[in-house]
Structures are given as C-alpha cells and as structure tokens.
Amino acid sequence: MEGRDVCEVTDTVFYLSDYGFGDRGLGLDRETWGRAWDVVDRLTGHCVREEEWESAAKLVLAQYCLGMDPLRTPSGVAGVRMLARAQSPLGAIPGKSVAWRGPATAAAGECFRWAYQAMLVTALSMLIVTAGWTGGLLPAGGAGGAGAESAGCAEGAR
C-alpha cells in the first residue's frame, strides 16, 4: 500500500464531506457508503499495523467524515492509541511513520522538516474528531509518549 492510495481515498472523503462539516453520508446510497466505509476501515487497520502515523491520522479523520465515531470503532481507537504512543513527551509526532522519522541527532529545523506534516495532520484530525467528545479512550497513565515508537528527532532539539 502506498501513501498515495491513502491520500486519494482520504482527500476524496474530505472534499465530499467538507471535512465532516457537510454531508457526512457523502450523498451516497447505503450500499456505496458501506463499501466506502469498508475501504477506510481496512486502510486504517493496515496503517496501524504498519505504524504509518500520518496516514492513520488521515484515516481516523476520514472515519469521522463518513459519519462514524472513530473513538468508538476498533480501527479508529487503535489509530488514536498508536498516535498517542508515537508522540514525544512534548507532543510531537516524529515523522510520517515508524520507518520514516527524523534521526535522534536532528537539529530543530531538520526535525521540523521530517515531522511537520504528520504533526499538523494529527493535530487537525484530533481537534475535529474530539470536539465535544467526553468519553475516555486512553488507558490509565495517559498518552504515554515514552514508548520506542517516539524515538527520533531529539527531544527538545533547539
């Protein structure tokens, strides 16, 4: 699976739903909507298994844009938890994926180049998805941020 495929799916969902602020059914009949949901759900699961942080964040938002609550779907919950584990203690997502992240020795500017898009996508997704949501999601102990997934781009690089 290439990131391009995820982008084609998510960009289409974002456009047709106006990022979830428009018709979250996308004007589709029930059968077509079901196929769209199946694709987004399966892609989310794939990106979680591959630890593709940026793509998973886009797909979590796409679930919301399709009218689902990604904080209640198994793949959405897995995606949000994976993103929480990937965060550094300061909240940064260290790159596009576990395989493509900034080196631990990166200076602040280089770290930003590696990580800015994934951080922005994750922030936008979580802001939209969690607006007005009060249910619990993370296990005791909160967001973690100390896991191996967050290694990359030195913490507090200046």
What does the pLDDT profile of the chain (158 residues) look like in tens digits? 556 789 999 999 999 888 888 877 788 889 999 999 999 999 999 999 999 999 999 999 999 999 999 999 999 999 999 999 998 887 888 889 988 887 778 887 888 888 889 999 999 999 989 886 655 554 444 444 444 444 566 554 44
SS in 3 state form for the chain?
A: CCHHHHHHHHHHHHHHHCCCCCCCCCCCCHHHHHHHHHHHHHHHHHHHHHCCHHHHHHHHHHHHHCCCCCCCCHHHHHHHHHHHHHCCCCCCCCECCCCCECCCCCCHHHHHHHHHHHHHHHHHHHHHHHCCCCCCCCCCCCCCCCCHHHCCCCCCCC
